[in-house]
Structure 1
């Protein structure tokens, strides 16, 4: 018999690759943080001797969810300024609060809060865009979570940097310091076309090409953004980015609620990725991303939550359901964005956008063991005819019971193993009192 570290036996395994596959009464074998095999549970007992065996007779195993767009530390601003349009929300409330409070301590406490929430909801990898990314790197290492760190760039000064040159220099230093860490990856993260001028964008294009890093950016988020770009530059934001050489396989364009058919074709031809945040878009009344049109054109579409300040949660399972339902309404077609496609958007599509498709996003031998167990045995999930549909339409994040990242258990029977939940909650309450007192 072969010796392995972990054997997980489940009622169903949904590997995402191949598409729409469900394996019943199967087991997942893990050695040294990687998936060794998927095989019938009875065969696994004969073939493997495992240090740890998990029997999950009512569970579905899925790949770890990939949250492709977050501002993790903004969890401390959850509910701070609700029911406002984007620019009023940003200029009148969020940017002033950030100017007053954002620093290393804020980012550490907010990121720990966000990671605890995401892990309890089955997220094993998040793509972050925020200040003090070096603090986020240390927090992710503490949690044992996979993170893509945004090397943020914006024209105006903040507590982290004074100008675009300093943002880029500090980002490159962070990349050099951490580029060999297994659970960390990097993206350039210019905030948006309306907050980053041409020269920094040209430099980011050159550096992204040299280092082969994605460029993670809010693009075509609102009609106002497009109108402002037409007034300032005489062209739509996507056209401006194309002229600057940024529309290509490295572009991770977030939101994309304002798209014309020709732009969709351009994105597909260029190999760009769209990061869809349906609940944030709905809450801010930003518009509707034409998901099915993008998928039909061949564009890789992924899912993100956005920050908890505008969502107001980091629940990627909830985003799957919202994305699937919204896509049907926007397309006028009940067959648009079926459940298997929504699950793929939340897993493999996101991993591929981040350049991590060979490492995570599906349960395939050789990949990292980023695995989530979801209990479908509760009354609210009975009966189970199609487990993939159940995951999207009938299951909530509270049914996530176990999470592994690179084979390490980070959530076991709903308990976090690497993060101190009570301490995180206490710090969040302390920040609440500070922000309330100075609102």
Structure 2
């Protein structure tokens, strides 16, 4: 159906249209119309061609889906990509990443690293991402200028961080930024207590109160490793998730990132509180952090989204590749080849991420009235043939190099694989210059 008789701004005619909602549906030879940045029409090609449209684009051999949603990452850490590989999590953090951050991270670092990450994500089919890093005001400026959509989480720790001398200052900055961007159409500010082992009960209480008042989301690393959970139990007699539940943080606005360790009590808490879990399989694999039991969570009704984590621990921001890894890993962990099938994997990378961020009424599926955040994947290549189920082919046989076009709120940010608002050569040169500076001073 179409919402009014006014001409469409753009009519897209792909070979396959995968709305994600309703689940498991593939529409062949359908059209999608956009007006004022929103989806105004979805229907058969014949009906679509009868509509007035300012522009019509044929997308032969392409699958049109909702834009991918990267539900966890540290965008500016792209400039630390490959800096300290093949190390355990705490060694990686304490001996390499935290010292490098103390030395190098300033507003210029965050600006250049975030722009690099935005460009990489757009070229990989990601229309919305969650960022949790220092100088969030700088990151939000980058998102604003790029045309992308994002949730920006202000990191809060018990000790000073780049850009904030205390937890109270970080919280104050987050509240201020939340107020400044409250009506921004594409940016949502969240609170990002780093992890249970870096934030005290007192500071978590403050965050909970403010988040409740503002109806804001909370984004936090939780149960990333067995060591984290074991240490907490030894020191306090309480598992970190149980502690967060006791403090009243869990709920539909809470995003628990990693969750590789889940007991029966943890699962009951997640279900009861309607907390979302953000799964980061490749980072967890690379740092040997453990396996999130995705199928178990899904069957229990927990909302599971997917994130790449930062490029310093992944080492790419390739959500399509991440989703393939998630689907494969889910099968191995569950001991079942039917676990996390291709259609559910795509849902995890789109609508579930939107739901975790509280954006499911705006993005995550192709439905009339929602924002036109979409990506066209080219499935016409040799390596994608023959095509029996285009969604299976997308998840299991397609790489991010097949991303052809991308729109956010109806605006083209990637056209025929070319960024429309960002200078790829300049971004590459800037990243190389940072790498030379950092490596030259770290020997």
Using structure 2 for the length normalisation, give the TM-score. 0.98
- Tell me the equivalent position of 1:7: 11
Aligned to 1:31: 35
In the TM superposition, what are the counterparts of 1:28-427 in structure 2 within 5 Å?
28-46=32-50, 48-427=51-430
Counterparts of 1:368 and 1:131, CA distance in 2:
29
User: Gaps (5+ residues) in structure 1?
Assistant: none
Give unpaired runs (5+ residues) of structure 2.
Answer: none
Structure 1 runs of 4+ off > 4 angstroms?
none
How far did 1:43 drift? 1.4
Q: Give the Cα–Cα distance (whole angstroms) in 1 for the partners of residues 356 and 131 of structure 2.
A: 14
How far apart are 1:132 and its partner, in Å? 0.3
Q: Is the 8 A contact 2:242 2:269 kept in 1?
A: no
User: C-alpha distance in 2, partners of 1:156/1:429?
Assistant: 31
CA RMSD of aligned residues (A): 0.8
Task: For residue 2 of structure 1, report the CA deviation from its aligned partner.
Answer: 4.3
Paired residue secondary structure (2:49)? helix
- Secondary structure, counterpart of 1:49 in structure 2: coil
Kept in 1, the 8 Å contact 2:174–2:189? The answer is: no
Per-residue deviation, residues 198-218 of structure 1 (Å, max 9, x unmatched): 111001111111111111000
Alignment partners' CA distance in 2, 1:196 and 1:114:
27
1:231: how far off?
2.6
Looking at structure 1, the residues matched to 363 and 388 of structure 2 have their Cα atoms a distance apart, in angstroms, of 27
SS in structure 1 at match of 2:252: coil
Q: Alpha-carbon deviations, 1:415-434, whole Å to 9, x = none?
A: 00011111111110110011
What is the CA-CA distance between 1:277 and the residue it aligns to?
Answer: 0.3
CA–CA distance in structure 1, aligned partners of residues 55 and 288 of structure 2: 48
Measure how far apart 1:52 and its partner are: 1.8
The one-character-per-residue Cα deviations of 1:292-343 (angstroms, maximum 9, x if unpaired) are 1101111000000000000000000001100000000000000001111100
CA shift, 1:230, in A, is 1.5
Name the CA distance, whole Å, in 2 between partners of 1:266 and 1:52: 50
SS of the residue corresponding to residue 3 of structure 1 reads coil
- SS in structure 1 at match of 2:53: strand
CA distance in 1, matches of 2:22, 2:70: 21
Q: Give secondary structure in 2 for the equivalent of 1:249.
A: coil
CA distance in 2 between partners of 1:137 and 1:70 (Å): 14
Contact 2:15-2:28 at 8 Å conserved across structures? yes
| Mapped partners of 2:212, 2:179: distance in 1 | 16
- The whole-number CA distance in structure 1 between the counterparts of 2:322 and 2:426 is 28
Asked if the contact 2:342/2:391 (under 8 Å) is kept, the reply is: yes
